[in-house]
Amino acid sequence: MEKITENNYDRENASEFAWREQELARKETELKEKEEALKAKEEIVYKNAKERLYDKIHVSVRTMDVIIFCLIALVVVVTVLGVMAGNG
């Protein structure tokens, strides 16, 4: 009679093991889906106009900053000269 009880115990352990394996596989799948969703969110990062410009032009950030500063200074100088010429 003990032999039958041991077989039943082994079957219960086997079914419990199979259930745990299925549960583990399901949780792994859920985890992978969550990781992919997080990666997708990380890729969709808002970039401001300055960062988008730097992505398109392959120069250093410092060089681009100097160019932008010079262009802004040039616009200010031209505007001031235009106002002075218009008044005089």
pLDDT classification of 1: cutoffs 50, 70, 90: very low
**For residue 6, what pLDDT is reported?**
59
Check: CB of residue 14 under 8 Å from CB of residue 6: no
Element (H, E) at 78: helix 61-87
| Higher-pLDDT residue of 45, 65 | 65
Q: On the CB side of 86, how many CA atoms lie within 13 Å of its CA?
A: 6
pLDDT classification of 41: cutoffs 50, 70, 90: confident
**For residue 4, what pLDDT is reported?**
55
**Helices 61-87/49-56 angle, 10° precision:** 120
Q: 0.85 exceeded by the pTM? A: no
Indicate the domain borders of the chain: 1-45, 47-88
Check: CB of residue 65 under 8 Å from CB of residue 57: no
